[in-house]
Each structure stands twice: as C-alpha cells, then as structure tokens.
Structure 1
Amino acid sequence: MLIGPYFNGSAVVVGGCAGAFLGTRLSERLRLALPQTFGLASMGLGITLIIKVKFMPAVVLALILGAAIGEIIYLEKFIGKLAGSTRGVIDRYLPSNSGLGQAEFTERFVAILVLFCASGTGIFGAMHEGMTGDPSILYIKTILDLFTSAIFATALGYAVASIAIPQLVIQLLLAALAAMILPMTTPDMMADFSAVGGLIMLATGFRICGVKAFPVANMIPALVIVMPISHLWAHFVH
C-alpha cells in the first residue's frame, strides 16, 4: 500500500493552512528571507541531478522540444488561469491578506507548483516507493514541504494548500506506473531524466529567487520525452 504520497500531500495541506493563518503575524524578515533559501535549495538540488547526465545533447534536445511543446499548447498560461481560478474559489471561503496582485500571485504560484509537483525528489521518491515499497525518500520531501508550503502560504494564502491535489495525483500515477516504466529503462535513460529534472529545478530556483522568470511550467513536457530521446540517441547517434 502506498503511503508516501499521502504523507507528502498532508504536509502541504497542513503547512499551507498554517502559513496562511499566520500570514503577516510571521516576521517579515523570515517571510522574505526563507523563500530565497528555498530557491537556493532548489538550484542546489538541480545541480546534483544535472551532473548525473549521460547524453547531454539528448537532454538539451528534449528540453528544447519540451519547452516548445509547452509554449505551443500554452501550458504555463493554462496553469496560471487555473491558479487564478483556484485563488478566487478559496479566497471566497478562506480569504487571505496576501495583498498580491493577480500577476504577481500567478508568477509565484506557478513557480512553487513546479517546485512541489515536478521536483526530482518527488518524482523519484514516488517511483522508488512504487517499485520497492519504501517511502523513505518521500518522507524526506514531506518534512521539507511542510515548512516550504507554510512560508509560501504567508504570501499566497490558502491556495498553496490546493497544490496537494495535483501533487498527490502525480505521485500516485508515477508510483502506479513505476512497475511498468522502470523495467523498460536503462541507467543512462534515468540519468538523462534526472538531468532534465535538474535543469527544470535550477530554472525554478532562479525564478523563486527573482533572478530570472523562466517559463518553468512550459518545460515540463521535456520530462515526458527525454527518455525516448535518450534511448534513440544511444542507439543511433552515440
């Protein structure tokens, strides 16, 4: 029985609700400083994943094609509209005092949505539990997400707690499909998958820190196509 995704989702709900409730009661220095730390942690995690790369040209190709697909289907724009709708529904019943405009709210929400749902820790943790039944990796992510969601919710309100829904769905799907996917993969394909995830995490870190607003949500399709591209590269190019 899978338990890691449910623990992780519960942490986001609890942290998001606690942070939204505290809001401005929490020290402003803490609210401003910690997201920078989370962004730095995201970049650090991204770098550790990138260095596992096997075929960098295949990774770059997957990232470019994936980003192009995301741009063509307006993936980030769709997520932004969904985020705005989520905020409207939640604020109707649980109003927050974030004071953020819609554009700034969407900017931050999309960044943390990717951070929570597309992080290497969550993806590999879910796949690992699906294959081995060991939820320990997701337990680590649970601890991190509890505090991360609380800090972001002080600015974004109760909408942060809603991220638990897509996160739970993604992790359950990954865990359920792991038994079918992993036997068809090679270590090189997994390494290139890690590298694409690392590049997305690195871009997410830059976005959270306000250095550069990369369209990280539009890069998500790269995670779907990188393994086939890596496989083809290994057999026909390398």
Structure 2
Amino acid sequence: MFYVFLDLVGITVGGLLSKPLQRFLSDKQINSMMEIATLCVGIIGIQGAIVTKKPLLMLVSLVIGSVIGVWLDIDGKFNHFGNWMKTKFKTSDPHFAEGFITVFMIECVGSMSIVGPLNVALAGKTSLMLFKVILDLITSLVYGAIFGYSVLLSGPFVFLYEAIIYGCAAFIQPLLNASTINEISAVGSLLIVALACDILEIKHFKVANFLPALLGPIIYEAVLMFCK
C-alpha cells in the first residue's frame, strides 16, 4: 500500500512543482507544450489500442460502456466536481475541470495502473509501480504547467482507484490474466486517443462517459470462467 500512496505523493509533488515552472514559460510556450505533449499522448494511445486481439470485444465494451456512462452522466459529475473545487480554489481558470479530468484519465486508464498495484500486492514486486510513480510525477508536472493546480485533484482519485485494485488483488487476480489486461489496456488506450482529440479540438468527446467500458474485458472473462 505504501507504493500506491507514493504514487499520490508523486502526483502531488509534480503538480506543486508545475507552478514555478509555469512562471518561466510564456503563454505561447505553454500552448506549444500542450499541443506536442497531447500529440505524443495520442500516439501512445494509438499504439496501445492496436495491440487488441479482440477488436469486437473492444467495440462492444465501448458501445455498452458509453450507454452506461451517458446514463450515469459520469462526465457531468466529473465536471461538476471540478467546477465545485474551482470555487474552493477561487480561480477563474476556464480549463480547471479539464486539467483534473485529463490527468486523471492519463494516469488511470493504462495497464500500469492495474498491473502495478497487483504486482505489489500479490508478488511484492515494486519496479513497475516505482516507474509509474516517476511517470505520473512527470505527467503532473507537464500538465500542471498547462492547466495549473487542478491536476492535484487527480491524485486522490488515482490513489482510490489503485488502492481498490490493491485491496481486491486476491479476488480479482484470477480474472486479470495477460489477455484481459491487454484488452483493458487497449480500451483505455482508445480513450486516451479520444482525450487527445478532445484537447486538440479535433473532435469533442465526453471521455469520462466511456470509463465503464474498462470493465468490459473483465466481465467477458468472468462469463467465460462461469461457463467453463
């Protein structure tokens, strides 16, 4: 559990250090950094999405997940929370909620956020989780310079997500074989592509509404196990 908490610390440190960095950058430099960082994230998302071995499962997961997400209005709830925190931070930044959602999505939908806590809980292996701590610190630093302190809000949500995986490791481990994790990663990577398109204003996606799609491969694996 210590390493899950360490990830929260990394996100927080990166977010806090982003403000001094922001002072040394002009608006043009920040915009340029946002464009290239988001383009890189989009490319990484494409690379992750094409590794799927079950494209039909990915399609069905995303379609059903989007229906559930729109019904629950997950994106609206994320934005409502972000705007509520905006009043607490007393800021007029129009991108405050966007920063929170962007960093949370980048740091949560990849396979490392699943495999990292599982490795620590089940095998005591910490290398992947330590790598994720460093990666999340850098992500918070870069996007914090772009969006400001709103990236700090992602920390507690990432911690909660990883803590649940860590705490339920023994129960969910049979469902999370290599194939299932690969498909979860592929679905999550496609969400990252949608997020990049949204940030770059190519096409507006309410990406948070697609989050239930991440459960699709797990449910599929559970059904297969039940039918055996």
Scaled to the shorter chain, the TM-score interval is 0.7 to 0.9
Distance 1:48 1:232, change over 3 A: farther
Distance 1:24 1:213 in 2: 30
TM-score, length-normalised on structure 1? 0.82
CA contact (8 A) 1:125 1:137 kept: yes
C-alpha contact (below 8 Å) 2:99/2:150 kept by paired residues = no
1:186/1:140 CA distance change after superposition, 3 Å:
closer
CA 1:52 to 1:206, structure 2 compared with 1: closer, same or farther past 3 Å?
A: same
Go from structure 1 to structure 2 and tell me whether the alpha carbon gap of 1:151 and 1:195 turns closer, same or farther (over 3 Å shift). closer
- 2:89 aligns with 90
Give the match for residue 40 of structure 1: 39
Name the amino acid aligned to 1:61.
Answer: V
CA distance in structure 2 between the partners assigned to 1:30 and 1:137 by the alignment:
32
**Residue pairs, 1:1-238, within 5 angstroms:** 2-91=1-90, 100-101=93-94, 104-229=95-220, 232=223
How far residue 216 of structure 1 moved from its aligned partner, in angstroms, is: 1.2
CA shift, 1:21, in A, is: 4.3
Code of the residue aligned with 2:191 in structure 1: it is: I
TM-score (norm 2): 0.86
Task: Tell me: CA distance 1:133–1:36, structure 2 relative to 1, closer, same or farther (3 Å).
Answer: farther
Whole-angstrom distance in 2 between the partners of 1:129 and 1:182: 12
SS in 1 for 2:57: helix
SS in 1 for 2:13: helix
How far 1:230 sits from its partner (Å)? 5.2
Letter in 1 for 2:180: M
**Residue identity matched to 2:132:** K
Residues 42, 62 of structure 1: alpha-carbon distance in 2 compared, 3 angstrom cutoff: same
Are the aligned partners of 2:64 and 2:213 in contact in 1 as well (CA < 8 Å)? yes
Where structure 2 has 5 or more consecutive residues not aligned to the other structure, the ranges are none
1:107 CA drift (Å): 3.2
Q: How far 1:234 sits from its partner (Å)? A: 9.8
In 2: Cα distance, 1:22 partner to 1:185 partner = 39
CA distance in 2, matches of 1:134, 1:209: 37
Contact 1:69–1:221, Cα closer than 8 Å, also in 2: yes
Q: What is the alpha-carbon distance in structure 1 between the residues aligned to residue 63 and residue 99 of structure 2?
A: 23
Structure 1: tracts of 5 or more residues without a match: none
1:199 Cα deviation (Å)?
1.2
One-letter identity of the residue aligned with 1:16: G
Q: CA deviation at 1:140?
A: 1.8
Q: Is the deviation greater in 104-113 or in 59-68?
A: 104-113
Task: Report deviation, 1:27.
Answer: 4.0
Provide the alpha-carbon RMSD of the alignment: 2.5
**Identity over aligned pairs, percent:** 23
Deviation digits for residues 1-47 of structure 1 (CA, Å, limit 9, x no counterpart): x3322221111111111213443433444422332333233223323
Q: Contact (CA 8 Å) 2:100, 2:152: kept in 1 or not?
A: no
Contact 1:16 1:149 in 2 (8 A): yes
